[in-house]
Amino acid sequence: MNNRINNTFSKKNKKLITFVTGGDPDYETSSQIIENLACGGADIIEIGMPFSDPMADGPTIQLSSMRAINKGIDLNKIFSLCENFRNKNNNVPLVLMGYYNVVYHYGIDKFIKSCEQTGVDGLIIVDLQPEEDSELLSKLKTKNIDLIRLVTPTTNEDRLNTILKNASGFLYYVTITGITGQQTAEVQKIRESIIKVKNSTKLPVVAGFGINNASQVKEICTFSDGVVVGSSIVKIIEKNYKNNKNEIIPNISKFIINLKKGILP
C-alpha cells in the first residue's frame, strides 16, 4: 500500500518518530503539541489512545493517560485531534497507539471508518497478538491503514515469522524487556537483534523504549531505520502542566530539535 508511511520511508534518511498521549494535559495543549512535533522535525507522530489500564506502560505514560481521561478525552476527541492536525499538515503520518479494548468498545467498523476520515495512517495495538487479530486485519485489508507490529528482545525466529506475516508500514523493535520509560537501552544488544530482524524482512525497523537523547539516537540510527521517543516528551508535559503550562510547547520543541541533530547527517 502506498500511504504516507510508505512515502516517508521511501526517503532514505533515518526517521524520528515521536509519541504523545492524545489529550494530555488537555485537548487544546495536546493539539498544539502535535503540531509542534511536526514543526520540530518529527517524521511520524504516534498518538496514544488514553486507557485506564495501560499495562505495557510505565508510570510516565500511565499518568499521561489518566490526565487525558480526567479531561474527558475519549476516542472521538482523539479523532478530532487527528483531523485538526491533518487539516494543517497532509504529509506527516499519524499512527494511533493503544490497547484493543478501546478499539473494540468503540466498534471496529466505526473505528476504521473514523481512522480513514481523519487521516490516520497506521495502528499499533499493543496487546493484540497475531493469533487474535483476524477480525481487525480483515477489515483493514481494503483500507490504506497499516497494522504495525512490535518485536521484542524475547521474540524468537518462529515468532518473528508469525509477526511478519501480516505486518505492514514498519516494525517497532522494543529495545528493552519490561515497561516503557524505566530503563536505558543497551545499544550493542539492540544492534545484534535489529540486524537479525532486518535479515528477515524488507520492512523498515525502528527502535523504541529507553531512547532519550541525541547521542543515543545517532548511535541507534547507524543500524536501524529510525527511533521512537515517547516517555521523555511526556515527562516534559508532566513536569510543567501544573505551574508552567506555557513552557510545555517551547521545551518540547527544543527537545525535538535537539533529538533531530542525532539523525541529520
Please write the tens of the pLDDT for every residue from 62-112: 999 999 999 999 999 999 999 999 999 999 999 999 999 999 999 999 999
Contact 225, 204 (CB under 8 A): yes
Question: What grid cell was written down for 162?
Answer: 508469525
Q: Which long-range contacts (CB under 8 A, 24 or more apart) does 29-32 make?
A: 29/237, 29/241, 29/245, 29/248, 29/249, 30/68, 30/73, 30/81, 31/81, 31/84, 31/85, 32/249
Q: Which of 24, 28, 35, 46 is catalytic?
A: 46
Q: Is 46 a catalytic residue?
A: yes
Q: Where exactly are the structural domains of the chain?
A: 4-258
Q: 149, 128 in Cβ contact below 8 A?
A: no
Low-confidence ranges of the chain (pLDDT < 70): 1-2, 54-57, 177-185
Exactly one of 24, 43, 57, 121 is catalytic; which is it? 57
Instruction: Give the model's pLDDT for residue 182.
Output: 46
What is the reported pLDDT for 38? 97
Active site residue 57: yes
* Grid cell in block for residue 83: 483531523
4-258 classified as CATH 3.20.20.70: yes
Q: What is the pLDDT of residue 105?
A: 95
* pTM for this entry: 0.95
